[in-house]
Amino acid sequence: MVKRYTSYIDGKWVDTKRTFTVINPATGDVIAEVSKCGTEELGRAVCSAKQAFPAWADLGPGERAALLNKWADILERRAPEFAELETRQTGKPIIMTETFDIPFSIDNLRFFASAARVLPGMATMEYVPGHQSSIRREPLGVIGLISPWNYPMNMGVWKLGPALAAGNTVVIKPSSITPLTTLEMARAAEEAGIPAGVLNVITGPGQTVGDALVRHPDVRMISLTGDTETGKRIMTQAASTVKKLHLELGGKAPFVIFADADIEAAIQGAAMGGFINSGQDCTAATRIYVEASIYEEFVQRFVNRIERVRVGLPMNRQTEMGSLISFDHRDKVEGYVQRAVANGAKIAAGGKRPEHPDLANGAYFLPTVIVNATQDSEIVQQEVFGPVLVVLPFETEEQAVELANDTPFGLAASVWTKDVFKANRMSAKIQAGTVWINDHITIVSEMPHGGYKQSGFGKDMSIYALEDYTQIKHVMIEMNGKVYKDWHYMR
């Protein structure tokens, strides 16, 4: 059944007549037709967000929190439907959307509803004698939110939650590959009573409506999660209006295993960390560095573990890894593997499409382990964004730090060791926004997520995200009515 979805502007469902299709990448079936917006619809969405801003910003944080919690209640009630829709548009396993994507999105929204009520800051006091200073933390106005396809609902909430909780109004543009759960979230927001214009959803290509959103003079900030190249383009596009930016970009996380580590835990951690969401995760463990003395043993045991990963149809509850996001993307991932082999690397596991006839119509690629690659090669340096990881040996702790830091990215990393001193030294020296010790991927709404280096700047989740979606104003009051202030040298 092909369902028709329309965009959501100023509290109304707007059919633009022009459409694009959404495909289930696990089967190749068209599952939806979606309105394609142009710059005219984008202009209307920004205008409605601008008009809705003063009233939304004037609500007390408790009132905004109540609406966000009501929205979360509706999402919770509809969770099974959201899980299935997310699985159908992304090809990820239903066990993942049911246990992670949807409940974690709802938890995140509830976190921001609460956090809006406890914004921390400096004390109001006389920093200059006779002058009282206070800090106001204010919303910015209209914020443009641009989300990717890998965790569509989750990435949407990571932006919508803090932006709305802080009192901004928004125009969100989801990825054209996966707009459906964002549109259904807007439907739930409407049901929750979030006023018209506070949340608008624009659907259409990044190069046209995304670009227009970034350039629009009434949009005060852009928050993008996407490819590092898209981030660079958006920095240029945003320059003419000096917009505040929040950029969550690519990653190429190192996963460093010392010889003293619990190898069984590291093998399981690398399998889960590398192949979660078919490896289409910005923090995925993609560069596995193993201390040379245990390298051969690790590779052999890891390959045995990988062969047990159950690749299959996403709606099957036994499936641990579904399809990739699209046929084009599968071809791109395959290209990376072919070039790695042509450059002298070896495939230790996977490296091809599965042969099972049930999977013939989907964009599948087997979990793949590459060895014998060089540190400077494309497969080690660039983000493949698929189920492909590289295993490399290292000799010393210093070399492990050097290799871990040797890419343009700095989103996340993990270190596996039982030595608490080594763990602390490594966590200080690795240049990444998150460092896990003896774990990889685990995230929580209270703690920040965001990049170092070319992985971007600004934090998602946590109180730091809420701060990012506000601006700071200093208000100073002269308390004694003095004509001549102490510093006045014109008398």
The residues binding ligand NAD (CB under 6 A) are 146-150, 155, 173, 175-176, 206-207, 210-211, 214, 224-227, 230, 233-234, 248-251, 282, 383, 385, 411, 451, 455-456
Q: How far is the CB of 173 from ligand NAD (least distance, A)?
A: 6
CB atoms within 10 A of CB 147: 27
How far is CA 448 from each of CA 158, 429, 478, rounded to the nearest angstrom?
A: 11, 19, 38
User: Which one is catalytic: 41, 184, 190, 248?
Assistant: 248
Q: How far apart are CA 71 and CA 189, in angstroms?
A: 5
Is 320 in the active site? no
Report the residue number, 41 or 291, with the smaller CB distance to ligand NAD: 41
Report the residue number, 297 or 328, with the smaller CB distance to ligand NAD: 328
Report the residue number, 139 or 206, with the smaller CB distance to ligand NAD: 206
Q: How far apart are CA 121 and CA 135, in angstroms?
A: 7
Report the residue number, 375 or 382, with the smaller CB distance to ligand NAD: 382
User: Which one is catalytic: 37, 282, 334, 467?
Assistant: 282
How far is CA 361 from each of CA 233, 327, 341, 442, 449, rounded to the nearest angstrom?
A: 34, 10, 26, 32, 36
Q: How far is the CB of 104 from ligand NAD (least distance, A)?
A: 13
Q: How far is the CB of 225 from ligand NAD (least distance, A)?
A: 5
Strand 142-146 and strand 219-225: the pairing is parallel
Q: How far is the CB of 159 from ligand NAD (least distance, A)?
A: 11
Residue type, position 340, single letter: A
Q: How far is the CB of 132 from ligand NAD (least distance, A)?
A: 40
Report the residue number, 207 or 480, with the smaller CB distance to ligand NAD: 207
User: Residue for token digits 């490399």?
Assistant: 392
Strand 169-173 and strand 199-201: the pairing is parallel
Is 37 in the active site? no
Question: Six-digit token pair at 93?
Answer: 């396993």
Report the residue number, 225 or 319, with the smaller CB distance to ligand NAD: 225
Q: How far is the CB of 248 from ligand NAD (least distance, A)?
A: 3
Closest CA relative to residue 289, chosen from 409, 439, 399, 410: 399
Q: How far is the CB of 370 from ligand NAD (least distance, A)?
A: 19
Residues 6+ apart with CB under 8 A from 356: 312
Please compute Rg for the chain using Cα positions.
24
Closest CA relative to residue 155, chosen from 174, 170, 169: 174
Q: How far apart are CA 303 and CA 487, in angstroms?
A: 72
Strand order in the sheet with 412-416: 346-349, 368-371, 388-394, 285-291, 253-257, 412-416, 434-437
Q: Are 258 and 299 in contact (CB under 8 A)?
A: no
Report the residue number, 142 or 313, with the smaller CB distance to ligand NAD: 142
How far is CA 203 from each of CA 29, 185, 267, rounded to the nearest angstrom?
A: 20, 14, 41
Catalytic center residues: 248, 282
